[in-house]
Amino acid sequence: MEKERVWLEINLDNLLNNLLIIRKLVKNKKILLAIKADAYGLGAVEIAQFLENKIDMFGVASIDEGIILRKKADVKIPILILSPVPYQAIPYLFEYDLIPNVSDEHFLKKLIAYAKNNNKRLKIHIEIDTGMGRTGFWAKDFKKIWQIIANENFLEVEGIFSHFPVADSDLLFSQKQLKEFLRLISDLNLNKKVLHIANSSGILNLPQSHLNMVRPGLVIYGILPEDIKNEEIKKLIKPVISLKSKIVSLKYFGKNMSISYGRTYFTSQPTLIGIIACGYGDGYPYQLSNRGEVLVKSKRAPIVGTVCMDLTMINLNNIPNVTIGEIVTLIGKDGKEEITVNELAFWANTIPYEIITRLSPRVPRVYLKNGKIWKIRKNN
């Protein structure tokens, strides 16, 4: 990456390793890979092309994301839209063979009317809110909704699902959700439908929630939720991404000199400052100002001053022989040291999901396969 100022490396071998680990863990259950938000920032088209024949279904957030997979990645397997679909977009569901999440009675009736008027059939998944507190039919209303759908010839209920909000932190609440979900399924004799509730945390913490399909996302991308008790899984899941940049300038500062916008940092002694070609314009969090660390020559270097749009400053006093052009690791391993996405999220007072999905399109995605560059995606 000679001319790149910052880039994201995606290790496809580790990605496949993680998928196979989860496949083994859930045994013969189907796997829906959450590939929404551009595969959590890793690149939906590229990830879909690499994994399609190893996945049962992809999960996206919108019609547009589904169309991109159909047209640009030439995906043939089922695609489930996990978020509600705007009424005006209903025709595209049929045109691109996309499965909608049905979580609202008005949408359901609009969908039925369109299907009948155009003499077309469509598979759907129904969402039940068992405690997520977001989209989905309330459990108490589900029987009424099922009566509307049960005898409907133009819609095929392929699946029914719910969602865990705290499977990483409150197993009692999650178990209560699962119990309610299974009671509704049993009451209406729907056990042969595709049933799914387990996200990454559910897969790892609640094996009984695997049902007949699971919905991993973060864990496949090499990031473990914080409260995972399975020590074996922790050892087996491999990191997938590395965010790297370069030192583009070296500058000596005397004692008591300020660095960067706002003058939030003053040197306490003569200091060698390295300037990295990465900033919040690349999605690197501003909240890391005077707080985060990076890796240079297999050692940790603290961020000093405020993170800028395109540049970040680091203290190099404890790292000898640094030169301009030196590779800097912002996420990933360098020697025995590693900065994880979870660690970066802690420094930035956010969650790992936001860290990776906020990475700017101007950051090239470099896909590595068998230790070599397989593909590079650039959006600028």
Which residues are documented as binding site for substrate? 134, 309
Q: Which two tokens stand for residue 164?
A: 């865990």
Cα 214 to its chain centre, rounded Å, is 15
Binding residues: 134, 309
Q: CA 217, CA 231: separation in Å to the nearest integer?
A: 19
Q: Which of 30, 36, 193, 244 is catalytic?
A: 36
Q: CA 7, CA 290: separation in Å to the nearest integer?
A: 23
Q: CA 66, CA 294: separation in Å to the nearest integer?
A: 36
Nearest to 51 by CA among 76, 29, 25, 24: 76
Count other Cβ atoms within 10 Å, centred on residue 302: 16
Q: Which two tokens stand for residue 322?
A: 């640094």
Whether residue 293 contacts residue 339, with contact meaning beta carbons closer than 8 Å, is answered with yes
3-state secondary structure of 91: helix
Determine whether 74 is exposed, middle or buried from the number of CB atoms within 10 Å of its CB (0-12, 13-18, 19+): exposed
Q: Can 192 be counted among the known catalytic residues?
A: no
Please, which residues bridge with residue 368 across strands?
11, 373
Q: Which of 87, 234, 251, 261 is catalytic?
A: 261
Q: Are strands 365-369 and 299-302 parallel, antiparallel or unpaired?
A: unpaired
3-state secondary structure of 44: helix
The H-or-E segment that residue 7 falls in is strand 6-11
Q: Which two tokens stand for residue 266?
A: 């003053």
Q: Can 114 be counted among the known catalytic residues?
A: no
Nearest to 96 by CA among 127, 135, 123, 56: 123
65, amino acid identity: E
What are the residue numbers of the active site? 36, 261
